[in-house]
Amino acid sequence: MQIGEHELNPSGPEQDDEGPSRSQLRREALDVLKLAQALVDLTDAQLGQVPLGDDLLEEVRRARAVTQQIARKRQTQFLAKQMRKLDDADLDAIRAALDHDRNNIRREAAALHRVEQWRDRLLEGDDETLNEFIALHAQADRQHLRTLARQARIERERNKPPHAARELFRALREAMDERGKG
């Protein structure tokens, strides 16, 4: 008995070129839904950086305006449905804008952590720590930073509000920003 082609492939020869599977389509739809949710969660300034058409921008605003949880979920799902009509290049441009925004947020957070670390080191340290900072940031006002660090230590010892520590943070951030611009 000879085995025919239809016996080797029980699904039939016509199913080989049908395109993506249902599972793949579902994964893509869920990916677009996550993208829609990310758009709804953006601030107005962040949303302005994302390349959206006027109709999609209006749908995002409409979804943001809904306050009830289930209604907002439905509106976000509708936004995702509209976004699935976009071609892959448009979706990739939206993803790229969101990734760029996330990277900026990470960089800004890392910069703030570096400022916090310097502030904490200056509050715990001595003149050697201040000299180390000044070596890296020559434009910084050594005397002003020394005074702020001393005042912040006194405030901390007396359990006072940390006004000087906040001012020290601002001064350090300005000095570090100046170096970044130069």
Read off the pLDDT band of 16 (50, 70, 90): low
Task: Give me the helix-helix angle, 163-181 and 127-136, nearest 10°.
Answer: 30
What pLDDT sits at residue 41? Answer: 87
Strand, helix or coil for residue 19: coil
pLDDT over threshold 80, residue 11: no
**Whole-angstrom Cα distance, residue 10 to residue 12?**
5
Walk me through the domains of the chain, giving residue ranges and CATH numbers.
19-93 (1.10.60), 108-181 (1.10.60.30)
**Whole-angstrom Cα distance, residue 170 to residue 91?**
39
